């Protein structure tokens, strides 16, 4: 079972979280100035299945709650940001310059969350919302709050992820970011992804947010890291 501390107030930062519009785009702004740069190590190999999924024809890979890192996982870099990608499990294609086509697995959903966040902060926050979120009332609310320009200029560090649940059609993923203002050095950004038309889309609540309550505070060892062996 994932080890996650109970949510805590992050020393006067709660006002930022009250204004969160979408977890993987705007919530990260609360930590941008203080976070450390992402590591550029290459994870060790892990094994997975090679059966393709419908839509983008991407291999499914490891569907466990603690998937091993693929052999080809590497780091992309742009404008000071670095984020993990896999040529096998996603993104395997682009749409209007945005990375798309991810594996129908927990790893694929986590890679979607990372690419969504990175794209919002490097390319365009509004266009990222338009592409990566499900059609809903909440999406319309969110778009009304989201600027077209990149969400931030200071890079954040992607540490790993937690698979809260997975059914094949839905993946609840907590993206873990490194930040020194948390008691553990990490904060969690929860989100639920649905499999829509052959790829993952973030589910937005009616108020334009993507989760309820305070963000969790993960502890090292309680999440899958983007570096090292997870076997």
Q: What is the pLDDT of residues 191-204, one digit of tens each?
A: 999 999 999 999 99
HSE-CB for 107 with a 13 A CA cutoff = 29
Residues 125-168: tens digit of each pLDDT: 999 999 999 999 999 999 999 998 887 667 889 999 999 999 99
Residue 225 host element (H or E): strand 224-225
Describe the strand order of the beta sheet including 157-166 as a list of residue ranges. 199-202, 186-196, 170-178, 157-166, 224-225
What six digits make up the tokens of 76?
């992309």
Contact between 164 and 174 under an 8 Å Cβ cutoff? The reply is: yes
Place of tokens 């990372």: 114
CA 200 – CA 122 distance, rounded (Å): 20
* pLDDT tops 60 at residue 227: yes
What six digits make up the tokens of 146?
């989201």
Residues 2-19: tens digit of each pLDDT: 444 433 333 333 322 322
Place of tokens 């334009």: 208
What is the torsional sign of CA 111, 157, 23, 140? Answer: negative
Assign residue 45 a region (left: φ > 0; alpha: ψ between -120 and 50; beta: otherwise). beta
Of 43, 205, 41, 25, the residue nearest 112 (C-alpha): 25
167, with CB counted inside 10 A (0-12, 13-18, 19+), is exposed
């Amino acid at each position: 079972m994932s080890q996650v501390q109970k949510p805590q107030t992050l020393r006067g930062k709660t006002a930022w979280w009250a204004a969160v519009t979408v977890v993987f785009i705007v919530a990260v702004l609360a930590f941008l100035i203080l976070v450390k740069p992402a590591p550029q190590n290459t994870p060790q190999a892990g094994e997975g299945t090679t059966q393709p999924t419908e839509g983008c024809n991407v291999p499914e890979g490891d569907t466990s709650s603690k998937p091993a890192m693929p052999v080809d996982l590497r780091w992309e870099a742009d404008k000071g940001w670095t984020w993990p990608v896999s040529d096998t499990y996603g993104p395997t294609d682009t749409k209007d310059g945005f990375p798309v086509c991810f594996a129908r697995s927990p790893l694929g959903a986590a890679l979607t969350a990372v690419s969504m966040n990175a794209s919002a902060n490097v390319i365009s926050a509004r266009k990222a919302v338009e592409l990566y979120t499900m059609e809903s009332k909440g999406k319309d609310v969110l778009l009304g709050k989201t600027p077209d320009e990149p969400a931030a200029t200071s890079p954040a560090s992607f540490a790993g992820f937690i698979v809260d649940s997975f059914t094949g059609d839905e993946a609840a993923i907590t993206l873990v970011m490194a930040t020194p203002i948390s008691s553990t050095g990490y904060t969690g950004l929860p989100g639920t992804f649905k499999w829509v038309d052959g790829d993952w889309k973030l589910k937005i609540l009616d108020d334009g947010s993507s989760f309820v309550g305070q963000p969790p505070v993960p502890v090292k060892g309680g999440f899958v890291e983007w570096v090292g062996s997870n076997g």
